[in-house]
């Protein structure tokens, strides 16, 4: 039995701010239970829903020397769908209304969590073969495994994997502060280790010291070796390229299933979408006060409204796009300039554009189920989950060829009748507009081709099971099986 421990700062269903939580919560369920014992450890945040706290049982506690004094470390546990989840309890560090806040405080909090998670392993009697770390919050774990936890029988043969979910977030602060908090010696703060220009960088430490590095799509794994996507670490990513790979995330195929989805009014599946899918569109047009027309092409956007998502391209061509026979539904929150931009266009083209500047899980399902196409022109996208959901619901993605978007959306080829969506290459507003208009042409003039594309899109399998097989191969290789 191979034992794996996921060390993560968030995890569904307990606490979630982004895609990292989906990976940490959904992936462990999909490993082969006969071969793998995968467990998860995360902080016990005060802001977790009470129902999860009520399910936790106390295991033990100890005191750990950290930052100049003895700190309390409580260990709680719960089991969910056959997976054991451990929680590190310390109210001083994990109180507050949300998991992340002030950067300096986050750095101290997650170095404490990383050290406590490793220190707790002998107490809970779980000795993993692989410690799988996620993002900068756990970047110091591989460093500790090669440093203060290296001696002694218990930790000696543990391997570590560092998974980068988004290279933009690195956990950077001045060296003196990180050295004092972590207790690491000066030896670790040189340019080939944790030093990053003049600062200390926790993610860099994880990348340097982990036995293997993964990220969340093949294309992103290649992109981060270049200066444009490398966020200052491209040289290090090139240096580690022999032990770097991309494994695409999945989505929960039970939760996102148009045949059984309780959040949409008219369920449908691959064999009846031609009649049933349009009923969702009709209902959404009515709900949002858009012109009610079954034949009008409806394009959806569900996104954080930030620069990363390519919204400046949309701003550039919005007036031109609204001259076409389309409707646009936007759901999300984010930067004020984009929130106001979409509000403005919803006012200007009130029967064509709906701007829903909030977030609702139910509304996101309605958008995936109702729209004909889904627009995602990201500047960079490590993996992206929205395009996987739109494929699942037979809503054809229009994406820029970057990161996970390039890996998961096959561009339409009218000569060979292949493809599951539409894509453009350069970060250019009119290249995007041309691609949208090409999609419009197929939608209006070649309806049979469009429907065949939906068949192919809904037949794709981007469930977590596919990702789990790739991780199993990596674990076996790393352990020499």
Whether 265 maps to a domain, the answer reads: no
Q: Which residues of 385-412 are buried (b: 16+ CB within 10 A; e: fewer)?
A: bbbbbbbbbbbbbbbbebbbbbbbbbbb
The two tokens of residue 205 are: 């430490």
Q: Are residues 231 and 312 in the same domain?
A: no
Q: Are residues 236 and 88 in the same domain?
A: yes
Please identify which residue in the block is written with the tokens 């950077």: 172
Range of the domain at 48: 2-250+465-478
Q: Are residues 288 and 235 in the same domain?
A: no
For 287-435, list the strands marked E by DSSP.
297-302, 326-331, 353-356, 373-376, 396-400, 422-424
Q: Are residues 325 and 389 in the same domain?
A: yes
What is the CATH number for 352? 3.40.50.2000
Whether 201 maps to a domain, the answer reads: yes
Answer whether 404's CB lies under 8 Å from 383's CB. yes
The two tokens of residue 185 are: 């010696």
pTM of the model: 0.94
Q: Are residues 291 and 361 in the same domain?
A: yes
DSSP letter for 188, please. Answer: G
Answer whether 225's CB lies under 8 Å from 234's CB. yes
CB atoms within 10 A of CB 469: 14
Q: Are residues 83 and 184 in the same domain?
A: yes
From residue 155, alpha-carbon distances to 89, 122, 146, 427 in Å are: 22, 9, 9, 47
Q: Are residues 231 and 330 in the same domain?
A: no
pLDDT of residue 18: 83
Q: Are residues 239 and 370 in the same domain?
A: no
Tell me the pLDDT of the chain (481 aa) as tens digits.
Answer: 999 999 999 999 999 988 899 899 999 999 999 999 999 999 999 999 999 999 999 999 999 999 999 999 999 999 999 999 999 999 999 999 999 999 999 999 999 999 999 999 999 999 999 999 999 999 999 999 999 999 878 999 999 999 999 999 999 999 999 999 999 999 999 999 999 999 999 999 999 999 999 999 999 999 999 999 999 999 999 999 999 999 999 999 999 999 999 999 999 999 999 999 999 999 999 999 999 999 999 999 999 999 999 999 999 999 999 999 999 999 999 999 999 999 999 999 999 999 999 999 999 999 999 999 999 999 999 999 999 999 999 999 999 999 999 999 999 999 999 999 999 999 999 999 999 999 999 999 999 999 999 999 999 999 999 999 999 999 999 999 8
Whether 256 maps to a domain, the answer reads: no
The two tokens of residue 173 are: 């602060």
For 157-233, list the strands marked E by DSSP.
159-164, 172-174, 195-196, 199-201, 212-215
Q: Are residues 456 and 317 in the same domain?
A: yes
Q: Are residues 137 and 192 in the same domain?
A: yes
Q: Are residues 450 and 474 in the same domain?
A: no
Number of domains in the chain: 2
pLDDT of residue 203: 98
Strand partners, 463: 251
pLDDT of residue 19: 84
Please identify which residue in the block is written with the tokens 């491209």: 234
Q: How far apart are the first and last CA of the chain?
A: 12
Q: Are residues 237 and 298 in the same domain?
A: no
Torsion of CA 140, 144, 147, 150, to 10 degrees: -150
Q: Return the axis-axis angle of helices 429-445 and 311-321, rounded to nearest 10°.
A: 50
Whether 373 maps to a domain, the answer reads: yes
Whether 266 maps to a domain, the answer reads: no
């Amino acid at each position: 039995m191979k034992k794996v421990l996921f060390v993560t700062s968030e995890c569904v269903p307990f606490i979630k701010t982004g895609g990292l939580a989906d990976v940490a919560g959904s992936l462990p369920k999909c490993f082969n239970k006969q071969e793998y014992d995968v467990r998860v450890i995360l902080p016990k945040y005060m802001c977790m829903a009470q129902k999860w706290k009520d399910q936790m049982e106390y295991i033990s506690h100890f005191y750990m020397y950290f930052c100049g004094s003895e700190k309390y470390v409580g260990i709680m546990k719960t089991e969910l769908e056959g997976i054991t989840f451990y929680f590190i309890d310390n109210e001083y560090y994990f109180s507050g209304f949300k998991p992340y806040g002030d950067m300096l405080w986050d750095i101290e909090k997650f170095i404490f969590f990383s050290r406590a998670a490793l220190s707790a392993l002998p107490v809970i009697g779980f000795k993993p073969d692989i410690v799988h770390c996620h993002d900068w919050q756990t970047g110091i774990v591989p460093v500790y495994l090669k440093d203060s936890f290296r001696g002694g029988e218990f930790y000696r043969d543990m391997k570590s994997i560092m998974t980068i979910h988004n290279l933009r977030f690195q956990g950077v602060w001045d060296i003196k502060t990180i050295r004092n908090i972590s207790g690491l010696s000066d030896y670790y703060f040189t340019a080939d280790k944790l030093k990053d220009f003049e600062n200390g960088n926790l993610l860099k430490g994880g990348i340097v010291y982990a036995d293997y590095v993964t990220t969340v799509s093949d294309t992103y794994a290649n992109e981060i070796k270049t200066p444009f996507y490398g966020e200052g670490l491209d040289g290090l990513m090139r240096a580690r390229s022999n032990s770097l790979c991309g494994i695409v995330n999945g989505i929960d195929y039970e939760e996102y299933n148009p045949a059984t989805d309780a959040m949409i009014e008219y369920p449908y599946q691959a064999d009846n979408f031609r009649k049933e899918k349009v009923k969702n569109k009709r209902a959404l047009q009515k709900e949002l006060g858009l012109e009610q027309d079954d034949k009008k092409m409806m394009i959806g956007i569900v996104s954080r409204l930030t620069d990363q998502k390519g919204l400046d391209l949309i701003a550039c061509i919005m007036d031109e796009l609204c001259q076409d026979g389309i409707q646009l539904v936007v759901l999300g929150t984010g930067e004020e300039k984009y929130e106001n931009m979409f509000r403005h266009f919803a006012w200007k083209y009130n029967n064509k554009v709906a701007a829903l500047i909030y977030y609702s899980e139910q509304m996101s399902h309605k958008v995936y189920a109702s729209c004909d196409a889904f627009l995602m022109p990201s500047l960079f996208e490590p993996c992206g989950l929205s395009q996987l959901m739109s494929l699942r619901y037979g809503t054809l993605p229009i994406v820029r060829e970057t990161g996970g978007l390039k890996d998961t959306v096959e561009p339409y080829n009218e000569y060979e009748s292949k493809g599951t969506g539409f894509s453009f290459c350069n970060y250019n507003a009119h290249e995007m507009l041309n691609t949208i208009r090409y999609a419009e042409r197929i939608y209006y003039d070649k309806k049979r081709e469009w429907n065949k594309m939906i068949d192919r899109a809904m037949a794709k399998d981007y469930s977590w099971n596919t990702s789990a097989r790739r991780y199993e191969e990596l674990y076996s290789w790393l352990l020499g099986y």
